[in-house]
Each structure stands twice: as structure tokens, then as C-alpha cells.
Amino acid sequence: MEILLPVSRGSSFEDAVRLAIDTAKAHGGRVRVLNVVDAAEIRRIEAGARPGAIHLARHAADEVRKRMTDEGMAAVVGTVRRFEAAGVPARGEVREGEPAREFVAAAGSSDLLVSAAASHFAPDQEDAPGRLVLAVMKEGGTPVLLSGAPYRPVRTVVAGCGGGTRTERAVGAMARLSLWKAAPRGILLAVDDTPAGGEERIAEPRRILADAGYPAWEETILPGPRMETVLSFCESVGADAVVLGGWGEHRWDDLLGLSVTGHLLQDGCRTLFLYM
């Protein structure tokens, strides 16, 4: 398994590192640690020169580039050493460019992206939680394991079965990676006002897991409002990780305000496996 771990400034990066170590060790994975020096910040310094001071502005930009590159390399080297100490093969890289674009490009050659929820990739401000992850997922093709909570071992996994291709893609991506195949407890959850409707939502995820050699997961069908029901159920069973498909909203504010994914992120209590 090839795992991409973007380096971020936020305190939750430590949780992402521990999650990546745990995942790589469980699956014989290799980790690529990537830091991106934000080229836009350097361009802003160069463009901010007053008339006649272009040379000084370029010199200042070069100094900032060097500082950011040195800091990025130090972060990469330190993180790679963490993996090596844990017995996980890892390599590091520093690039210059637009962070979201560079991470999307790198994710294309990876099996899984592990990221902190609060990314803090922008040099002058804290990013909205998950902005990078949303950008990667909108491009498609790479599953995301999002460290949305302080690290803890994953013992109980809940797969939200909303029905349709989104659920199938998310559960299928998890199965292709054999994630949590040996988890002590796996639960397929459907929210539907009728048992027949819930059974229809669960049927395909059940088949996907069986075909991938997973042991039979528990199945739960509950009536009620989807968001409140999923959140309360995850709380009641002590879910450590939740598997979810994509969503219809294209703006992060909409996602946070309206979706199960957004509310789970706001709770900050669980790891999320997401795939569009």
C-alpha cells in the first residue's frame, strides 16, 4: 500500500502521523511524506515591491523561499525518521507550488491519502478544516483516511449505507485496501423507515465485503432523520472509524452545515474513511 501523508502546520498533524504509522504497519505499507512550499506566498512578496525596489523584493522572496524550504525539509526529515523508528518504510519530498494542486497530483499515484482534519497548509492563515481533503476528493480516484480525532486504535468501524453507487464505491475502496479486515467489530448501518428499504441499502455493501473475504459484519437498520440517527448510533457503539461515500455539496461550508460527514468532523471524535 502506497500512503501519501501531506505535512501540515496544525497540532493535529501528530494524530495523522500516528494514524499513518498504524495503517502502514497493519498493511505492509510505504509512506511518502510530502511538504509543499507555497509558491503564491513567494509571488506575493515579489509583487509587493514599490517602484524601483524590484531587486530588493526578489531578494526578500528568495530569502522566504529558502526559509520555507529549510523548514519544510526539517519537517519532512523529522517525520520520515518517526516512520523509520516504527519500522515503516518512508521517503520524503519538498516541492514548490500550489499546495492543493501538488497534493492532488501526488495523490494520483498513491493508494491512500492520510491527512489531519485541520490542515493548516496556508502560510498566513489556518485553513478551513478539510479544505485540502475536499479538493482531493473532488478530483476523485484517491480514498482519504482523515484523522478527525486524537489518535486511538480502530476497534469498531461503522459503514454508513446510504444506498446507491456512493456507498458501493466507499465500501469497495475500503475492501480493496483490506482496511479493518481484522477489526474486532464492523457494523453496516442503514437509516430507513422500513426494514425492506434498509435491507436494500445494506445488500450491496454486504456482498462487497463477502467477496473481499471479510468476516460477516453486524447489520443495523434504524428509522429516523439520517443525520441525527447516524451521529447518535456512532456515539452509542463507540465507533472509532466511520466509512462514508461522497456528497452532493461542492462548497465546504455547505458540507459542514448540511452533511453527516461535516457533523462528524465537527464532533472531532472519530477517524473518517471517505471516497467519492
The percent of residues in the chain predicted with pLDDT above 90, rounded, is: 50
Q: What does the pLDDT read at residue 131?
A: 65
Q: In this structure, what are the phi and psi dihedrals at residue 75, rounded to the nearest 5 degrees?
A: -65, -40
Instruction: State mean pLDDT over 218-241.
Output: 94
Distance CA 115, CA 127 (A): 13
DSSP state of 3: E
Mean pLDDT score across all residues of the chain: 84
DSSP state of 128: P
Using H for helix, E for strand and C for coil, what is the string for 64-89? HHHHHHHHHHHHHHHHHHHHHHCCCC
Q: Is the pLDDT of residue 88 over 60?
A: yes
Handedness of CA 261, 217, 15, 40 (dihedral sign): negative
In this prediction, residue 262 has a pLDDT band, given cuts at 50, 70 and 90, of confident
According to DSSP, the β-strands at 90-97 and 218-222 are unpaired
Q: What does the pLDDT read at residue 113?
A: 93
Q: Is the pLDDT of residue 4 over 60?
A: yes
In this prediction, residue 249 has a pLDDT band, given cuts at 50, 70 and 90, of very low
Distance CA 275, CA 258 (A): 18
Q: What does the pLDDT read at residue 252?
A: 45
Domains of the chain: 2-147 (3.40.50.620), 156-274 (3.40.50.620)
How far CA 48 is from CA of 52, 66, 78, 152, in Å, comes to 12, 18, 34, 46
Q: In sequence order, what are the residues at sequence separation of 6 or more whose Cβ sits closer than 8 angstroms to the Cβ of residue 189?
A: 158, 159, 160, 161, 220, 222, 230, 233
Q: Is the pLDDT of residue 32 over 90?
A: yes
Give me the helices (H) in the chain, please: 13-27, 39-47, 54-85, 99-107, 131-139, 164-176, 195-211, 226-237, 252-258, 260-267
Contact yes or no for 237/98 (Cβ under 8 A): no
Distance CA 65, CA 67 (A): 6
